[in-house]
């Protein structure tokens, strides 16, 4: 439990005009404005430092409540159905709960939430001139629309979450608003279709996930949605974006597995952006897809995450991104690699930038075995790339009287095409019989693999 009482007392000592108000609930109800519920038999005002201790509950249901400092302890609750002005700071300790059901929550103070900050009911709500620092959980449940004004700033900190289970939205008024996300924002799949408006400046350094049948709507040209390099947009729902969209981060379809992510209107990928695709098989539904309802400019990288893929299906193609208005520009790499089986097998894909889609073509697979490492630390092959003659350099410690070293050549289909013995630390081989191409060279001692390297013959 975070105990802010010593800090509260210190602040009171610095301001002689401040008065301490401790909630007792002795009045027999939860009414903030019942003087009998306070230890000093008076209602807090703009000079007050207020404490709601464990495990008591209070509610603001009429008129306007004003505080200088407010602390809610663990297992204590405060419910707002009217107006609350926080002039300096409001702190929710770990385990504390604040229920914002209707009315106005205004500043110019700061809210430090280490507990649970819940936004409930379809009644009108306004947050104004505040900085809300969320260190734990903001829960939005059946809340309708909450207006944000007066330069409202919400900082969703690392490891914190904003969980949304509601239609509605957060919408900036004329004074503007900004949400800086370093944690996660989740639109929860409840089995029903739903939409939530995000109309303010959004700076994403964390994760924004929209689950199945849900849509986040960034629908205003007067705001900016910036997905930074350390930000991720993910899910199996939809992002509808007409805000100014800057995308430098990750796009990763799927929620807890494979999925299709829809992106409507503004979409682009800069040179630092990355498309992350999971593949478990060659058939539709066995790999991730991004459906784009616009004409995107595509740059950056594609990262492939492979499941237990059955490589007997070679060759195979994967249509990982589709558009309904065509692709304006495509600057993805022409070929990418992905690893499977703990880095033993390497899959090589061609990236096809078609007029209306991005398709991956599985060109080849470099097969390995379970007990061999890709990183050969005891030997090397030179030159690499090479032509008709190569030299195998090995550690002298490998050449013992009981060892029988051999170098085996595998083609890209995993077929053994050549094997040679090694009897010295610098063994030269004539490989002119091999056609040009990519090979896996495996060094073994007494038939036990020691390591392997990829070698290219030209």
- The whole-number pLDDT of residue 16 equals 42
Which of 203-217, 229-243, 249-263, 391-405 is predicted with the least confidence, judged by mean pLDDT? 391-405
Q: Among candidates 350, 391, 369, 385, which has minimal Cα distance to 444?
A: 369
- The whole-number pLDDT of residue 311 equals 58
Residue 232 CA to residue 303 CA, distance in Å, equals 13
From the number of C-beta atoms within 10 Å of its C-beta (0-12, 13-18, 19+), residue 192 rates as exposed
| pLDDT band at residue 401 under the 50/70/90 scheme | low
Residue 414 CA to residue 369 CA, distance in Å, equals 10
**By the 8 A CB rule, do 417 and 409 touch?**
yes
Residue 375 CA to residue 24 CA, distance in Å, equals 68
Which of 143-157, 283-297, 303-317 is predicted with the least confidence, judged by mean pLDDT? 303-317
**pTM, 2 dp:** 0.79
Q: What is the pLDDT of residues 72-120, one digit of tens each?
A: 999 999 999 999 999 999 999 999 999 999 999 999 999 999 999 999 9
| pLDDT band at residue 368 under the 50/70/90 scheme | low
The H or E element that residue 14 is part of is helix 5-14
Q: What is the pLDDT of residues 243-275, one digit of tens each?
A: 999 999 999 999 888 999 999 999 999 999 999
Q: CATH 2.60.40.1930 in the chain, residues?
A: 379-457
Mean pLDDT over residues 432-456, rounded?
83
Mean pLDDT over residues 348-363, rounded?
93
- The whole-number pLDDT of residue 9 equals 46
Q: How far is CA 369 from the centre of its chain?
A: 33
Q: Please give the CATH topology (third level) of the domain spanning 379-457.
A: Immunoglobulin-like (2.60.40)
On the question of pLDDT at 441 being above 90, the answer is no
Mean pLDDT over residues 389-404, rounded?
82
On the question of pLDDT at 220 being above 90, the answer is no
- The whole-number pLDDT of residue 313 equals 57
- The whole-number pLDDT of residue 4 equals 45
């Amino acid at each position: 439990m975070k105990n802010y009482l010593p800090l509260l007392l210190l602040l009171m000592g610095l301001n002689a005009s401040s008065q301490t108000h401790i909630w007792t609930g002795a009045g027999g109800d939860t009414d903030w404005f019942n003087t009998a519920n306070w230890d000093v038999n008076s209602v807090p005002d703009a000079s007050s430092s207020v404490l709601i201790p464990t495990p008591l509950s209070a509610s603001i249901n009429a008129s306007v409540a004003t505080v200088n400092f407010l602390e809610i302890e663990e297992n204590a609750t405060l419910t707002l159905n009217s107006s609350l002005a926080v002039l300096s700071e409001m702190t929710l300790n770990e385990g504390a709960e604040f229920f914002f059901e209707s009315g106005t929550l205004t500043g110019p103070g700061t809210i430090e939430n280490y507990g649970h900050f819940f936004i409930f009911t379809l009644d009108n709500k306004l947050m104004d001139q505040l900085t809300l620092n969320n260190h734990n959980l903001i829960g939005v449940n059946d809340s309708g629309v909450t207006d944000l004004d007066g330069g409202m700033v919400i900082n969703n900190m690392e490891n914190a979450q904003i969980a949304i289970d509601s239609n509605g939205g957060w919408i900036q008024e004329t004074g503007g608003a900004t949400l800086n996300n370093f944690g996660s924002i989740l639109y929860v799949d409840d089995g029903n279709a739903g939409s939530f408006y995000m109309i303010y400046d959004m700076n994403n350094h964390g994760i924004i996930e929209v689950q199945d049948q849900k849509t986040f709507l960034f629908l205003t040209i007067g705001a900016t949605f910036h997905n930074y390099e350390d930000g991720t947009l993910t899910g199996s729902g939809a992002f509808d974006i007409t805000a100014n969209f800057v995308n430098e981060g990750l796009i990763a379809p799927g929620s807890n597995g494979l999925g299709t992510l829809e992106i409507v209107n503004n979409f682009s990928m800069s040179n630092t952006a990355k498309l992350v695709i999971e593949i478990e098989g060659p058939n539709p539904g066995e790999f991730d897809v991004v459906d784009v309802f616009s004409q995107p400019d595509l740059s950056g990288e594609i990262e492939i995450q492979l499941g237990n893929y059955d490589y007997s299906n070679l060759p195979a193609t994967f249509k990982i991104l589709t558009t309904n208005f065509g692709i304006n520009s495509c600057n993805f790499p022409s070929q990418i690699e992905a690893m499977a089986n703990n880095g033993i097998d390497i899959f090589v894909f061609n990236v096809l930038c078609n007029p209306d889609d991005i398709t991956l073509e599985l060109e080849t697979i470099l097969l390995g075995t379970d007990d061999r490492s890709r990183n050969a630390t005891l030997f090397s092959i030179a030159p690499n790339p090479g032509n008709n003659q190569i030299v195998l350099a090995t550690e002298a410690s490998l050449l013992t009287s009981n060892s029988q070293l051999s170098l085996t050549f595998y083609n890209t289909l995993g077929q053994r095409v050549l094997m040679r013995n090694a009897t010295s630390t610098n063994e030269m081989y004539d490989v002119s019989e091999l056609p040009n191409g990519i090979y896996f060279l495996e060094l073994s001692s007494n038939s036990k693999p020691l390591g392997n390297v990829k070698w290219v013959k030209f």
